[in-house]
Amino acid sequence: MSEITLFKTGSGLPDYLRAADDDFTKKIAGNNGGGGKSISIEGGVWRMNVGGEEIAKNEDRSMNFVVVNGSPTISRVFYSGTYVKGQASTPDCFSVDGKAPDATATAPQSSACATCPQNIEGSGQGTSRACRFFQRIAVALEGDLSGNVYRLQLPSKSIFGKPEGDKMPFQAYARFLVGHGVPMNGVVTEARFDTSQSVPVLTFRAVRPLTREEWETAKQQGQSHDAIQALEVKYAAVAPKAAPALPPTFTKEATAAVAKPAEPVKRETKKADAPVPKSVDAVLAAWSSDDDE
């Protein structure tokens, strides 16, 4: 068992937490091999989102919350295109259990995640994998346990890895709690940005045990609709942008007529009447009249 102190406050673990039947934390810990409200860590900043829109942000380096529920599986997601901030997009392929593409994936990359070409090191940028790992947890803020429940999606560097002192990635933190016989939903967890990393990475540690009343609230929150919804992995299809409608005066037929003008109408030029030649008698009569003068 680690020599790291469980709670930084120095308080011991209450009896009601020691006696807890904690299958929840054990499922999250896994094995050693292995449109609602949300909190994002994009750009190394805590961002509160509701319905996909950012409504608030916090630039503190840490945040205290209670993990009221969590997915026992590590999921995967693959996008073939380049990420554009603020632009909604649907992944080409994703897996809820990390083993095989979901039945609703629009472009499955393989029949199994283990043999997928997007799961090979170097298929992404640098030595990374193009298909990314993530794990979802449902959290309630320490000062508002009976309030909103948020989804927090953890990227791979916040999930896997070895602990360094009291800086633990999520699964190492879960195993640490299991080793101490502590349920994760019975403690306040501090999530802190690891400033030694070039991308947003969280580390975790236990701050204090919950009071009995707080723990009862946390357990109820973990079974709430918002908590269950926070763990769901599904993506809404993004409808393609429709072509702009033409103004009423520019119907399809009218537009085609403008694009292809009618051929000019050829008008016949009216020819002048040809002069009628005079007869020989008329010419001689004219000469005679000239002579008489």
Query: 180 lies in a domain?
Result: yes
How would DSSP label each residue in 186-235? GEEEEEEE-TTSSS--EEEEEEEEPPHHHHHHHHHHHTSHHHHHHH----
Query: 5 lies in a domain?
Result: no
Query: Shortest CA distance to 131 belongs to which of 117, 111, 146?
Result: 117
Query: 149 lies in a domain?
Result: yes
Query: 276 lies in a domain?
Result: no
The pLDDT, as a whole number, for residue 254 is: 40
* DSSP 3-state of 64: strand
Range of the domain at 178: 15-71+135-231
Query: 256 lies in a domain?
Result: no
Provide the residue-wise pLDDT of the chain in tens; the chain has 293 residues.
Answer: 344 666 766 567 787 887 777 788 878 876 543 368 999 999 999 999 987 788 898 999 999 999 999 999 999 999 987 766 666 678 999 999 999 999 999 999 999 999 999 999 888 888 889 999 999 999 999 989 999 999 999 999 999 999 988 889 999 999 999 999 999 999 999 999 999 998 999 999 999 999 999 999 999 999 999 999 999 988 866 554 454 454 444 344 443 444 444 455 555 555 555 555 555 565 445 545 555 55
Query: 101 lies in a domain?
Result: no
Q: What is the spatial distance between Cα 275 and Cα 88, in angstroms, rounded to a whole number?
A: 83
The pLDDT, as a whole number, for residue 259 is: 45
Query: 128 lies in a domain?
Result: no
Q: What is the spatial distance between Cα 31 and Cα 174, in angstroms, rounded to a whole number?
A: 10
Q: What is the spatial distance between Cα 100 and Cα 173, in angstroms, rounded to a whole number?
A: 27
Query: 162 lies in a domain?
Result: yes
The total domain count for the chain is: 1
The pLDDT, as a whole number, for residue 255 is: 38
Query: Is 78:94 a contact under the CB 8 Å cutoff?
Result: yes
Cut 0.85: pTM above it: no
